[in-house]
Amino acid sequence: MIFRKLKVLNDDEMLKIVEGAFRILQTTGCRFEDPACMDELEAIGCSVDRDSLVVKFPEDAIFDALESVPSVTPPDNLPKARVASANKGFLLDYHTRKMRRGKTEDARKIITLCNNLTNITLASAGVVQDDVHNDAVEVFNTALLLKYSEKLFNQWVYNTDNVPFVLEMGEIVTGGAEELKQSSLLNYMLNPIAPLRFPPTQLKMTRLYAQRDLPLSVASMTQTGSTAPATMAGALVVCTAELLAGLAWIHSLNSKSPVGLGALTQVCDLRTGAQLYAGPEQAIMFLGMHQIIRYLGYTSGNTSFETDSCDFDFQNGWEKALSGVLCWAAGFDMFGQAGFLMDGFSMEQLVLDNEAMGMLQRVGQGMVVDEDALAFDTIKAVGPGGNFLGERHTMLHARDFWLPSVFPRVSFEQWQKEGARHIIDVAHDKVEQILANSALELQVSEDQARAIDDVVRRRLAQVGGSWEGVI
């Protein structure tokens, strides 16, 4: 199997990038836009400029962080595709083929789909809906997921004022602060703004989670040619420097939070200035950063499985497959984003991505090579020119093979006879089938659900939003 064997950098190249990041941290540094960080980082030996808020890191401070800050769940050696579903502001409406703002009903449907799609391993509400007050929608969606998601989930939190409400709901579900800490229910991702800048809001929210020893991740979103050098190696130097700086700062907080590292590297189309999601260079950078993150001793994640296509076409499938399969083969611990379509979320795309992940999961299982699988006796019994269809061995293994639930396997003639339907139409049928036969069920007790609703009600009242009843 190729799993965990795919590399794009040799050891010398990888070490040059890591050493380059160390050099940048020592000579250029990073800006931490929260004065409180100055005392914290100075205490671990960093050189701080309180006027500019720029911090320079000696090697010892970085090495101490690498030795002291634990990684999130240690990586295993099993092929897997832990796929996160996307969070987008817009939703592609199947009936109109246009993007529109998401609604709460859409979020409920997406959670239902995530519950029923086997290969979507990390759920989300899919959309940031506009029928909930913008300042409270993160609390609202977290409540929906806590109450109804059957899987671990991801909900971005950008508003610092929402964090206490999110943490309170987490404690309601788990039973208290200590129980929440021991769970994997809530976590936070520190996103520096490239190049080499940590904004105050991100730092404040990270500190709130770190104080509770909750899981954290540091994820760098460098973009070649705009917020990072135009060369891939240069972009990885900046990316690595930001990850190491974030790790050192978390170490300075004396937190016990486990940490994962993420490479959200992107490419800027220098002809237009547009941010690209699926160029081949992006896949190369993902793979390079995975090697570096593993070398540093941490679990890794990225935002592969995206597309620059606006349709359900060959470009869409190929771009998602290119980055998704390569990142799977390299052994990433997490990658997304299922349901992602250029500029929006699509329920039909979520179904198609689940199907693709099913195929990839099957590849990850490899093949069995034992006495039964080698089938010597069966081959001997059938002999030259025979047929294996009627053999007991064939019947015993007939269900070993992956079967699609969406992708068609019919002749061209049969496909035409059935209406020559586009794959989006087939995927929409699957969406409708799941929604017609599945309903959201509480995953918490009724008392916990009422307590969660009360938290949402308080947050909505605080921002002047309306409360329409139980979520």
- Give the span between the Cα atoms of 414 and 425, in whole angstroms: 16
- Give the span between the Cα atoms of 55 and 79, in whole angstroms: 40
How large is the average pLDDT for residues 369-393?
Answer: 96
How large is the average pLDDT for residues 189-197?
Answer: 96
Fold of the 68-365 domain = TIM Barrel (3.20.20)
How large is the average pLDDT for residues 208-221?
Answer: 95
How large is the average pLDDT for residues 358-373?
Answer: 90
- Give the model confidence (pLDDT) of 52-66 as tens digits: 999 999 999 999 999
Of 227-231, 268-272, 301-305, 454-458, least confident by mean pLDDT is: 301-305
pLDDT, residue 82, reads 65
CB 212 within 8 A of CB 167: yes
How large is the average pLDDT for residues 153-181?
Answer: 95
How large is the average pLDDT for residues 94-118?
Answer: 95
- Tell me the torsion sign for CA atoms 17, 23, 25, 27: negative
With a cut of 60, say whether residue 23 has pLDDT above it.
yes
Phi then psi for residue 261, to 5 deg, are: -120, 140
Angle between helices 104-116 and 423-437 (to 10 degrees): 90
Tokens representing 288 are 């390079």
How large is the average pLDDT for residues 219-242?
Answer: 96
Tokens representing 7 are 């590399």
Specify the domain boundaries for CATH 3.20.20.480 within the chain. 68-365
How large is the average pLDDT for residues 287-298?
Answer: 95
CB 122 within 8 A of CB 336: yes
- Give the span between the Cα atoms of 185 and 151, in whole angstroms: 10
Residue among 293, 214, 203, 297 at smallest CA distance from 256: 214
- Give the span between the Cα atoms of 215 and 273, in whole angstroms: 35
How large is the average pLDDT for residues 258-272?
Answer: 93
Residue among 107, 185, 202 at smallest CA distance from 146: 185
- Give the span between the Cα atoms of 210 and 353, in whole angstroms: 34
Rounded mean pLDDT of the chain? 93
- Give the span between the Cα atoms of 354 and 120, in whole angstroms: 6
The number of residues making up the chain comes to 471
How large is the average pLDDT for residues 12-38?
Answer: 98
pLDDT, residue 3, reads 65
Phi then psi for residue 46, to 5 deg, are: -80, 155
How large is the average pLDDT for residues 416-429?
Answer: 95
- Give the span between the Cα atoms of 57 and 281, in whole angstroms: 30
With a cut of 60, say whether residue 85 has pLDDT above it.
yes
With a cut of 60, say whether residue 81 has pLDDT above it.
no
SS3 302: strand
- Give the model confidence (pLDDT) of 423-463 as tens digits: 999 999 999 999 999 999 999 999 999 999 999 999 999 99
Q: For 107-112, which contacts have Cβ atoms below 8 Å and span 24 or more sequence positions?
A: 107/141, 107/144, 108/144, 108/148, 108/440, 109/347, 109/431, 109/435, 110/85, 110/339, 110/345, 110/347, 110/350, 111/144, 111/145, 111/148, 111/149, 111/440, 112/148, 112/434, 112/435, 112/438, 112/439, 112/440
Amino acid at the residue 377: D
Amino acid at the residue 126: G
pLDDT, residue 289, reads 96
- Give the span between the Cα atoms of 363 and 167, in whole angstroms: 39
Three-class DSSP labels, 366-386: CCCCCHHHHCHHHHHHHCCCC
Please report, rounded to a whole number, the percentage of residues in the chain having pLDDT higher than 70. Answer: 97
More confident residue, 365 or 150: 150
